[in-house]
Amino acid sequence: MSAKSRVLVVDDERTVRAFTCRVLLDAGFDVLEADTGLGALQMAGDRMDLVVLDVKLPDISGVEVCRRLKQDARLLSLPVLMMSGRFIESDEKSEGLETGADAYLTKPVAARELRATVNALLRMRRAEAELHRSQLHVQAQERLVADVMKAARVKEDFLVSVSHELGTPLTAIKALVDTLCADPKLDLATRKEFFGVLQDEVNRLGRLVMNILDASRLEMGRFDVRLTPLDLRPLVARVVGEIQARRRPITYEPGAALPIHGDRDRLTQVLVNLVDNAIKFSPLDAPILVRATAESGCAVVRLFDRGPGVSEAMEAKLFEKFGRLERPGVSSTHGVGLGLYLSSEIVRAHGGTLGLERHPGWAAVFAIRIPLKEEPA
């Protein structure tokens, strides 16, 4: 059974108000009464479906009441039926309608005309509400279609990127293996160089596959971080040392001990991602600096590089999923857009943050902040 429509009758003449209320009650409406304009304004917000409003009231005019109702965003769609107990000029009637009244009747009003007018206004309101709901539904569908199309484009870009990222090291690995197999008499220095490149490319493939798997686990809520007591400082030193031995010099400035509760493997993954980005985007002769310090109760690891920097437009989406890092003047075809996203989520799982900072003399500075579990010695 549908709820009754609530109608507020506003009239300072008791007999007229009683007649209007009786007609509407007999028509099946839930009727409330007010005899002043200010009283009507107080009651109108209480889930009313329509207001029957007399023009002449003892405090403020019905025209002013109507104006205030229509200025309230919550009551903008509330139908107002204005009534006047005297002959009105067309200009006066126009003033009432221009303030937002939906209909205008002159008293005395026949019961049948009153019922018909109220029913017509309520039908109009229901139709407008239904139209509004339909418009919202259409807008929701349009947003859904746009989101699906965007997701499809992101997936397509991702697959293209993955194909490129897998193809590049596989091509290099095949070429090196073919060369090694074709010429078993290669000198030791060349073979050592080739095996070093092979190791780098295999590691690159391993990181790519691991990032893809981790992104999937994260999406399914199966991404595990196992926290144990550790000192972050030697962990950073080990990662920097391993990369230095294979690829290029990196300056490391360790501070005091940085005791935290952390996942050694996951934090290694973060550090490798950040150092790889710095190497990828920096010229061969540009310095890279890693500094570990304790600041304001946090272990802070900063990675400085002098590559092309990060644009302000890129900074806003830097840690989004599939948000590939782009630097001015550098090709954006590298990576699949998971490294910084995963790194940020891993640090977040440690109760910390990963962010971009601006420091004089450096193009980009990435800072890891993880709460210390005890004061450093």
Residue 62 pLDDT greater than 50, yes or no: yes
Span(s) in the chain for CATH 3.30.565.10:
228-371
DSSP annotation string for 327-345: -TTS-S-SS-S-HHHHHHH
Structure tokens given for 177: 């293996």
Distances in Å between the Cα of 50 and the Cα atoms of 77, 99, 118 are: 9, 16, 8
Give CATH for domain 6-109: 3.40.50.2300
**How many other β-carbons are positioned within 10 Å of the β-carbon of residue 112?**
9
Burial of 136 (0-12, 13-18, 19+ CB in 10 A): exposed
Where residue 374 falls among pLDDT bands split at 50, 70, 90?
A: low
- Alpha helices by DSSP H, listed for 72-227, are 90-98, 111-182, 188-219
pLDDT of residue 333: 44
CB 38 within 8 A of CB 74: no
pLDDT of residue 232: 94
Mean of the pLDDT values across residues 225-244? 90
Distances in Å between the Cα of 150 and the Cα atoms of 88, 143, 162, 316 are: 59, 10, 18, 18
Give CATH for domain 139-219: 1.10.287.130
Does the predicted model carry a pTM greater than 0.75? no
Of 86, 94, 23, 91, which is closest to residue 54 (Cα–Cα)? 86
Query: From CA 9, how far away is CA 6, in angstroms rounded?
Result: 10
- Alpha helices by DSSP H, listed for 183-304, are 188-219, 232-246, 264-281
Span(s) in the chain for CATH 1.10.287.130:
139-219
Query: From CA 263, how far away is CA 105, in angstroms rounded?
Result: 77
- Identify the DSSP state of 374: S
Residue 331 pLDDT greater than 50, yes or no: no
CB 37 within 8 A of CB 60: yes
Of 273, 272, 155, which is closest to residue 219 (Cα–Cα)? 155
Please report how many Cα atoms fall inside a 13 Å half-sphere around the Cα of residue 282, on the Cβ side. 24
Query: From CA 284, how far away is CA 279, in angstroms rounded?
Result: 8
Mean of the pLDDT values across residues 203-219? 76
pLDDT of residue 377: 46
Residue 194 pLDDT greater than 90, yes or no: no
Structure tokens given for 278: 């710095």
Mean of the pLDDT values across residues 20-30? 93
CB 81 within 8 A of CB 50: yes
Going by their DSSP bridges, the two strands 30-34 and 6-10 should be labelled as: parallel
Of 347, 280, 286, which is closest to residue 319 (Cα–Cα)? 347
Span(s) in the chain for CATH 3.40.50.2300:
6-109
Where residue 1 falls among pLDDT bands split at 50, 70, 90?
A: very low
Going by their DSSP bridges, the two strands 80-84 and 50-54 should be labelled as: parallel
CB 51 within 8 A of CB 99: no
Tell the CATH superfamily of the 228-371 domain. Answer: Histidine kinase-like ATPase, C-terminal domain (3.30.565.10)
Residue 376 pLDDT greater than 60, yes or no: no
What is the rounded average pLDDT for all residues in the chain?
Answer: 84
pLDDT of residue 120: 93
